[in-house]
Amino acid sequence: MNKVTACLSLAAMLAGSAIAQQSAPVIYPAQGQSKEQQEQDKFTCYGWAKGESGFDPMAPPVASTPPPAQEASKGGVVRGAARGAIVGGIVDGSDGAKTGAGAGAVVGGARRADQRRQQTHQQEQRQQQQAQQQASGRANYDRHYGACMEGRGYTVR
């Protein structure tokens, strides 16, 4: 994983964590429930909300693994150079082969750079999607948890 991908992954996880912390409900025992009763009700509502929403706020977010990186060899450059040399040699003899090899190497290198940029962009999109899913799952869980706690006589904000 390169530095850019690692930074983006960390940023996505932190964003999901920050959103989850901002939306956590505040619970007040409106009917004078004891600490023991509060803990029991919280545990019961945690299980119910987790089951209903399909989201577990106690589970850490799962970061996707990036697709296997293609080896950063000079394969594209070499293939491009070979193709260029063949085409250049056919068209214009040995000088054409040298020119064709150089041009082919440039084209092969440019293609590889484009592939890397595209892979990075796709990874960024996956991380943004995961952060959105994390935030949506947390919000859905919080709604269910709040409804359960209100049903047990607590004020939820």
pLDDT digits (tens, 9 = 90+) for 9-53: 555 555 555 444 556 889 999 999 999 999 999 999 999 999 999
Residue 58 belongs to some domain of the structure: no
Kindly report the pTM of this predicted structure: 0.56
Cα–Cα distance for residue pair 130/11, rounded to 1 Å? 12
Residue 27 belongs to some domain of the structure: yes
Q: What three-state secondary structure class fits 156?
A: strand
How many domains does the chain divide into?
1
Residue 63 belongs to some domain of the structure: no
Q: Whole-angstrom distance between the N-terminal and C-terminal Cα of the chain?
A: 41
Residue 68 belongs to some domain of the structure: no
Residue 60 belongs to some domain of the structure: no
CA 62 to chain centre: 9
Residue 10 belongs to some domain of the structure: yes
Residue 61 belongs to some domain of the structure: no
Structural domain span for residue 30:
3-53+74-156
Strands (E), the chain: 27-28, 155-156
